[in-house]
Amino acid sequence: QQLACQAGLEILKQGGNAADAAVAVAAALNVTEPASTGIGGDCFCLYYDATTKHVSALNGSGRSPKNLTLSHVRKSISDQNAYHIPFTNINAVTVPGAAAGWVDTIEWFGSGRVGLTDILRPAIELAEHGFGVAEISAKMWQENEHLLRTCSAHGVDMLLDGRAPRAGEIMRMPKLARTFRELAEKGKDGFYKGRIAEAIVELIQSKGGVMTLEDLAEHSSTRVEPISIDYKGVRVWECPPNGQGLTALMALGILSQLQSKGKIPPLSEMRHNSGEYLHAIIESLRLAFADTRYYVSDPEVVHVPVEELLSE
């Protein structure tokens, strides 16, 4: 997304580093391509320090509300045979970790030469002054227009004259800009306490959810040890569970074993996107996702056998 990339470039030109720029890009994407990322979601960060050669990881995912029980979830789902909470069910909403994740990414890994206000400024300006909607954004907006119309009375804030914006039209989001300003001025307390937190809880509880102000106030990002494997001489890193980066590492491990044992030719010898190439990748990912869905959960509650899942 060109406008989001430009936001990151502006921060680099001001002396910021990759961590600073990444947050600027994420915030700008929230404005220009809101279906891809947003302050109401989660945040995972991998950071490589070129001086120390060390890879660090931040887990900025939010937890389910403390008062959410399995029986409450089941009562809210019409299909009792469903194997997951429907994405449009209010109980699928977890504490949004992105805001804290952005702030902590800057504090833990940032250059110190640019502040949160500087980093969020490009996104604020895009939201206030408007931007031309890109084709891919317009497509995603139109596909989800019905959700924005029905999710709450505030859904219209993300519509243009009551409908999804079309490609090339100018879209403004002044209320999102206000949210970013409060985060920039007050830090994490500007999002997890006060006006914004109260609005989040009021809406969720009005829809039958159980999130409380305490759930928001107690949220924090977590420093975690990244996980990795060696794939053909390249060290590939991911954030550990509860994140799902483990899936990519398992898939690479499966591909590595298939190639080393002669079950498939080296991927470099296959024609890109040929049937043979896609079959190998798809089947490796299918197996990796099966293990992810079975094993990956909150490591503070259950044991996730990461070492075993990544072993040869």
pLDDT reported for residue 287: 98
CATH number of the domain within which 304 lies: 1.10.246.130
pLDDT reported for residue 237: 98
The side-by-side arrangement of strands in the sheet containing 43-49 is 43-49, 54-60, 222-224
Residue 273 lies in a domain: yes
Q: Verify that 39 and 86 share a domain, yes or no.
A: yes
Cα angle 303, 306, 307; round to 5: 120
Q: Verify that 110 and 243 share a domain, yes or no.
A: no
Residue 294 lies in a domain: yes
Q: Verify that 214 and 240 share a domain, yes or no.
A: no
pLDDT reported for residue 76: 87
Q: Verify that 41 and 87 share a domain, yes or no.
A: yes
Residue 161 lies in a domain: no
pLDDT reported for residue 152: 84
Residue 164 lies in a domain: no
pLDDT reported for residue 217: 98
- Structural domains of the chain, count: 2
**Pairing mode of beta strands 234-238, 54-60:** unpaired
**Per-residue exposure over 132-170, b if at least 16 CB sit within 10 Å of its own CB, e if not:** ebbeebbebbeebbeebeeeeeeeeebeeeeebbeeeee
Outline where DSSP puts E strands in 92-157: 131-132
In angstroms, rounded to a whole number, what is the distance separating the alpha carbons of residues 265 and 258?
8
- Asked which of 223, 243, 266 is the last residue of a domain, the reply is 223
Residue 159 lies in a domain: no
Q: Verify that 12 and 122 share a domain, yes or no.
A: yes
Q: What SS3 class is residue 218?
A: coil
- Asked which of 208, 223, 238 is the last residue of a domain, the reply is 223
pLDDT reported for residue 153: 84
Q: Verify that 198 and 299 share a domain, yes or no.
A: no
Q: What is the reported pTM?
A: 0.93
Q: Verify that 182 and 47 share a domain, yes or no.
A: yes
Q: Verify that 205 and 235 share a domain, yes or no.
A: no
Residue numbers of the domain that contains 52: 2-130+172-223
Residue 155 lies in a domain: no
pLDDT reported for residue 214: 98
**Pairing mode of beta strands 222-224, 54-60:** antiparallel
- Asked which of 192, 223, 254 is the last residue of a domain, the reply is 223
The segments of the chain whose pLDDT lies below 70 read: 81
